[in-house]
Amino acid sequence: MVAALSALLIGTGALVGYLLGVRTPTVATVAITVYVGDRQASGEVDGWWYGVRSTVSTWRGADGSQHEGGWPTCLDHVGSERTVIFGWVPAIAPGKGSWRDVVYVASP
């Protein structure tokens, strides 16, 4: 009885861990020089275009401070080029192709 319950708990834990791993992609990073517009920034690295606009869900300032939402202060200089770090996850739409979804911005 104890062995069967233990096996069930271990199996359930393994299944939950697997499902979380499948549904939670690993965040990759890329250092990128972006052109900064009015509440938008974009740039290209190795044939992939990355961009953000309006607001960023998570960003880290040059002083290391973490922010939830808003616009990164390192991207406040409209008309300039800035080197930043974008954290991205793969996104795939059935029959629509794939892209890299930027999930955070960090100042180097």
Q: Positive or negative CA dihedral for 60, 105, 52, 84? A: positive
Give the percent of the chain with pLDDT over 90.
64
- 10 pLDDT more than 80: no
CA distance 108 to 105: 10
| Confidence (pTM) | 0.73
Domain range annotation of the chain: 27-106
- 2-6, 37-41, 43-47, 58-62: segment of lowest average pLDDT: 2-6
What residues contact residue 98 under an 8 Å CB cut-off, 6+ apart?
A: 90, 91, 92
| Contact predicate 44/92, CB 8 Å | no
Mean confidence (pLDDT) of the chain: 83
